[in-house]
Amino acid sequence: SSRAKRFERGESNVTFEDVAGLANAKRDLQEIAGYLKDPEHYRRLGAKIPKGILLMGPPGTGKTLLAKALAGESDVPFFSISGSEFIEMFVGVGASRVRDMFASAKKEAPSIIFIDEIDSVGRARGTGLGGGHDEREQTLNQILGEMDGFDPHEAVVVVAATNRPDVLDAALLRPGRFDRKITLDLPDKKARKAILQIHSREVPLADDVDFERLSALTVGFAGADLENLINEAALLAGREDMEAVDMACMMQARDKVVLGSEREMVIGD
Ligand code: ATP
């Protein structure tokens, strides 16, 4: 029930090795991982670590994956909640969940808090389409209040994700809040190839599978689409009673993913 699911706490075994491309993002987060692994060391040096990191990028480009990889790489617990869940809550519930989550994360520090879809609570005030407005504002204020209240050496890093940075309330982006921004782009050809390879690690492949060619034929695909492509190809091979996935399966799966996302776009508009 939604009552029991206040927020999720997890351990992650994902690391930066599971993330293809995104070299700049990984480099920035590597620095944070270094801190989370040994906050005492940084404390002795008087170094202040960013409290809030905003991951910005189109859907399926690996924002959640990166946040999990940061947790796995640092070997710290990971607390997560999605902004869109707050919208359905009664006034006050969102704020109390935020409070509980920050309290748990501090108790288990060093730790990471991940807030997915921050734009659903963090939209600029006064742009709402009515409904849930108070709730949103209270939740947002609670998040900001918690971050402002951090001890400067509190070893809790808050990572938030959005694909709508343009609608965010400026209050979120002020110094001391989400002042470290990381942009994730759609993968280029080389990154697409690497993503296809990562997601077919456990898939038996026929000799004719050519990831170089497949990566050239998947312009505009996000990581999530590429993962989906590999899975669709494997399902197809299963249906055809094949022992390995061949290039024909990959190409058919590619067309299916293209059609699927076109349909979504039509419905989404
Ligand atoms: P959304 O905005 O829709 O929440 P997101 O940016 O958080 O999307 P993820 O949930 O991290 O995207 O990505 C979905 C899946 O796509 C991941 O679990 C992963 O398997 C795959 N994926 C995305 N980007 C990459 C990448 N760079 N390397 C490897 N896998 C990737």
pLDDT at 8: 82
CA dihedral 121, 124, 127, 130 (to 10 degrees): 30
Rounded distance between C-alpha atoms, residue 188 and residue 161, angstroms: 21
CA angle 172, 178, 179 (to 5 degrees): 115
- For atom 15 of ligand 1, the residue with the nearest CA is 224
pLDDT at 269: 45
12 lines ligand 1 (CB under 6 A): no
CA of 156 to the centre of ligand 1 (A): 23
pLDDT in tens, 173-201: 988 899 899 999 999 999 999 999 999 99
Residue from 197, 218, 227, 261 to probe ligand 1 pocket by mutation (most atoms less than 8 Å from CB) = 227
231 lines ligand 1 (CB under 6 A): no
pLDDT in tens, 92-136: 788 888 999 999 999 999 999 999 999 988 777 665 555 546 777
- For atom 18 of ligand 1, the residue with the nearest CA is 65
160 lines ligand 1 (CB under 6 A): no
57 annotated as ligand-binding: yes
Alpha-helical segments (H) within 149-222? 189-199, 211-216
Q: What is the ipTM score, two decimals?
A: 0.96
